[in-house]
Amino acid sequence: MASKGNDSRIDYVELNVTDIAASKAFYGGAFGWTFTDYGPEYCEFSDGRLTGGFTTLGAVRTGGPLVIIYADTIEDAQRRVESAGGKIVKPIFTFPGGRRFHFADPDGYELAVWSAQ
C-alpha cells in the first residue's frame, strides 16, 4: 500500500553509471551521500531526504531531466564538486529565487546545485 502524502512527488532517481565505486566516491565526496550496495551492479544512495540508485545494468545516458541539489552555501558546494572530480558546465549564476550552477559528474550527467542565498 502506498504511503499517504507521497502521491505525485519525486520518489527515486536512478542513474546508469560506468563505475559504481567511482560514482560513490564522487557523490560521497561532493555531497556526503551514503550508500547501500545491492550486489555488484546496483547501489542505492541517500542524501538524507531522497533515495536513488546507481546501476551498471544499462548504458550511460546523458541528458534527460535535470536533477537539482540544494546547498546552503553554493560556493562551498562548487568547491566540493570540483574537488571530487566534477566539471562545472555553467558557473554560478543568479535566477529569480536564488543562485545556481550546473556540473557534469564523471559519467557526463548534468546536474545543478542551487541556493536561496
On whether residue 20 sits in a domain, the answer given is: yes
On whether residue 111 sits in a domain, the answer given is: yes
Count of structural domains within the chain: 1
- CATH at residue 20: 3.10.180.10
Distances (CA, A) of 87 to 66, 80, 111: 16, 11, 10
Cα–Cα–Cα angle for 93, 95, 99, rounded to 5 degrees: 50
On whether residue 79 sits in a domain, the answer given is: yes
CB count within 10 Å of CB 76 equals: 12
Read off the C-alpha cell for 80: 566540493
Structural domain boundaries enclosing 20: 12-116
- Asked whether the whole model's pTM tops 0.85, one would answer no
What is the C-alpha to C-alpha distance for residues 47 and 62, in angstroms, rounded to an integer? 21
Q: What is the pLDDT along the chain (117 residues), one digit of tens a residue?
A: 444 577 677 778 989 999 999 999 999 999 999 999 999 999 999 999 999 999 999 899 878 778 989 999 999 999 999 999 999 999 999 998 899 999 999 999 999 999 998
CB 12 within 8 A of CB 6: no
